[in-house]
Structure 1
Amino acid sequence: MTNTLLLDVDGTLVDTNYHHAVAWLRAFRSVGLTVPAWRVHRAIGMGGDRLVEAVAGEHAEAEHGDAVRKAWEQEFDGLLPEIRPLEGAHRLVTTAATEHGFSVVLASSGKREHIEHYLDLLDVRDVIAGFTTSEDAEDSKPAPDILQVALSTVDADRAVVIGDSVWDCDAARRIGLPVVGLLTGGFSEAELREHGASSVYVELDNLRADLVDLPFAAV
């Protein structure tokens, strides 16, 4: 029986959520839109195709959506050298794959060039079973499409989703998969549990210690 970990990347394995928020804030301002930082942070984890409208409304999306996304990419690319893996990320992935024999798929809707960069930072290319990017699904989180694509890359019998945002939880819940939350992205334990997380961990090493007890479910 093959157990599969579907691991989110941004905010879960690499410490990027606040860099993303800063990049989006700068992108909004580049087109003359001022939005509250807290509102941007609350939207991190959903797809960029949804974020402009979620943060600034339908009119902003219609008038500035593509320009904001282009500016965000430029701003975030400039921050890439500052990105670091979260403590315990490499240990979590390698322990799951090599010691427990889990299939580990990095289920991200991030841009391919960013995910490729993170794979090198994490040094996990040789142990993961696969990864996804924004190129692999039309609808981004909280839609479950990227999780379904990630599952299709392996011969999974059972799976569990691990993520840091309510959007990860919503996506997992929509296809009936259990989800485990992490506080590494800035969402609270109460919020993650309200959106379906069966358990919530403060750090990746705490999660690594409980890998065999994760709530895998049939797929």
Structure 2
Amino acid sequence: MSQKFAALWDVDGTLVDTGEMHFRAWRKMSQELGVDFTREHFRATFGRRNPEIIRFIYGDHISETESQRIANTKERYYMDEARQGVQLLPGVRTLLEQLQRADFKQAIGSSAPRANLELILDLTDSRIFFETVVAMEDTSRGKPDPEVFLTGASRLGITPSQCVVFEDAVAGVQAAKAAGMKCVAVTFVGHHGEEKLLEAGADRCVNRLDELTADDVRKLFK
């Protein structure tokens, strides 16, 4: 029997570019609270779970109830924007199709709430490629902790060393490497540069995913 491999996908900045939608949603939410949400805040927290972002921006004094209210309101603002249109990034669908034909199992591994991920998969008509979705609600620790990717590998029944992660954030690359997985970093959206992603441990860095084929991905394991 041939060896089985898996591909675990981050979403924001890797499958799709919804960064500006998130930024505007956080900024709108913060303005309602009288807090200035800056680009520096966004870069420092991108790819993290909402509870961690809220503590970073608004402080540890925020109660769990208020934290949940902030998160729910922010996500409502984000989803309103996302419904106006989201597309897969260049090369993503082709690589998803190639990996599927190459018998890679595939999953989503994201810090985003499940409702956000389900909406993106529906809007981009990409649900058919993924056997499982690991969302914020499925983890207790955010990236760079490897929990999200280890959970995905476990659900797929694939050994972590036989998994490759597609990421665009330093924390995500660190999580992939802490899980003992290969990692391809993507710079197209530009949240983090190639140098930072390679320093974080990425095995390969590309600007766009149409620079890769399924054969290129398989070679990472040799």
| Common fold: TM-score over 0.5 | yes
**1:68 shift after superposition:** 2.9
**Which residue of structure 2 aligns with residue 193 of structure 1?**
198
1:173/1:55 CA distance change after superposition, 3 Å: farther
AA aligned to 1:25 is R
**Which residue of structure 2 aligns with residue 88 of structure 1?**
91
1:33/1:175 CA distance change after superposition, 3 Å: same
Equivalent positions of 1:1-219 (< 5 A) are: 1-59=3-61, 65-81=67-83, 82-98=85-101, 100-157=102-159, 158-185=162-189, 186-208=191-213, 210-213=216-219, 215-216=220-221
Q: What RMSD over aligned residues (CA atoms) do the two structures have, in Å?
A: 2.2
1:175/1:86 CA distance change after superposition, 3 Å: same
Contact 1:119 1:125 in 2 (8 A): yes
AA aligned to 2:139 is A
**1:59 shift after superposition:** 4.6
Equivalent residue pairs, number: 215
**1:175 shift after superposition:** 2.1
Which whole-Å CA distance do the structure 2 matches of 1:192 and 1:49 have between them?
24
Q: Percent identity?
A: 26
Which whole-Å CA distance do the structure 1 matches of 2:171 and 2:163 have between them?
18
TM-score (normalizing by structure 1): 0.87
Contact 2:47 2:111 in 1 (8 A): no
AA aligned to 2:116 is H
Question: 5+ unaligned residues in a row in structure 2: which ranges?
Answer: none
Question: 5+ unaligned residues in a row in structure 1: which ranges?
Answer: none
